[in-house]
Structure 1
Amino acid sequence: MINKPRYIKIVDENGDFTRVLRLHKFPDTSKCFYFEPQFWVKDGLIVRKDTLFEGDDIYGADGCGFLPSNLTEFRKYCRKQYQKFKDDEVLVNRYAIDFLGAKKPPYDDRHVTSVKYWV
């Protein structure tokens, strides 16, 4: 049996190795999967909703290659993805905050950088 790296980097749309994935194995299959942290808004909170890749898509002939990575780079990538999502997708109305008492979505670093797979 070949051991797979726990963390890997794959290419982004520009051909640079910037996307960091983590290995995940489901108990009912022998296949390996990797997940990439992604975010979305649910009930007024920014929550994780990860993207899943099959190991064959990365290691197979159609894959674009990978580089080994580590937990530190994975957490840094999670924070970067969170900030990018917040800046690009979440619109915070200053009027709603100042006059209506609305709050910005809270930031929870443990949740953002978790190594668990979030469906």
Structure 2
Amino acid sequence: MIHKPRYIKIVDENGDFTRVLRLHKFPDTSKVFYFEPMFWLKDGRLARKDSLFEVDYIYGADGCGFLPSNLTEFRKYCRKKHQKFKDDEVLVNRYAVDFLGAKEPPYDDRHVTSVKYFV
């Protein structure tokens, strides 16, 4: 079996190696996958909902290519993706904050930077 790196970087839409993925193997199959952390709004909280990549997309003849990475870069990337999602997608209504007591969704670094795969 060929050893695959646990963390890798792949190219973004600009051709730079900025997207950081983590290796994941499901227990009921021998195939391995890589996942990229993504976020969405669920029940008023920001939650992880990761994107899955098949190994052929990265290692195949027509693959996108990769560079090795590490846990530290993966966690930085998770925080960056979380902040970008929050800035781009989550709108805080001033009326809801001032008069209804609404608050910004809480930030949980352990959940944001977790190395588990979130469906």
Q: What TM-score, normalized by structure 2, do the two folds share?
A: 0.98
> What residue is the counterpart of 2:112 in the other structure?
112
Matches of 2:64 and 2:52 in 1, distance apart? Answer: 16
CA RMSD of aligned residues (A): 0.5
Counterpart amino acid of residue 59 in structure 1: Y
Question: Secondary structure at 1:115's aligned position in 2?
Answer: coil
Once the 2 structures are TM-superposed, how far is the Cα of residue 12 of structure 1 from its aligned partner? 0.2
Q: Does 1:82 align with 2:85?
A: no
Counterpart amino acid of residue 92 in structure 2: V
State percent identity of aligned pairs.
87
Counterpart amino acid of residue 49 in structure 1: K
Question: Secondary structure at 1:80's aligned position in 2?
Answer: helix
Q: Unpaired runs of 5+ in structure 1?
A: none
Matches of 2:66 and 2:84 in 1, distance apart? Answer: 23
> What residue is the counterpart of 1:30 in the other structure?
30
Instruction: Provide the aligned length of Structure 1 versus Structure 2.
Output: 119
Question: Secondary structure at 2:100's aligned position in 1?
Answer: coil
Q: Which runs of 4+ in 1 moved over 6 A?
A: none
Q: Unpaired runs of 5+ in structure 2?
A: none
Matches of 2:116 and 2:64 in 1, distance apart? Answer: 25
Counterpart amino acid of residue 21 in structure 2: L
Matches of 1:64 and 1:56 in 2, distance apart? Answer: 9
> What residue is the counterpart of 2:47 in the other structure?
47
Question: Secondary structure at 2:46's aligned position in 1?
Answer: strand
Q: What TM-score, normalized by structure 1, do the two folds share?
A: 0.98
Counterpart amino acid of residue 16 in structure 1: D
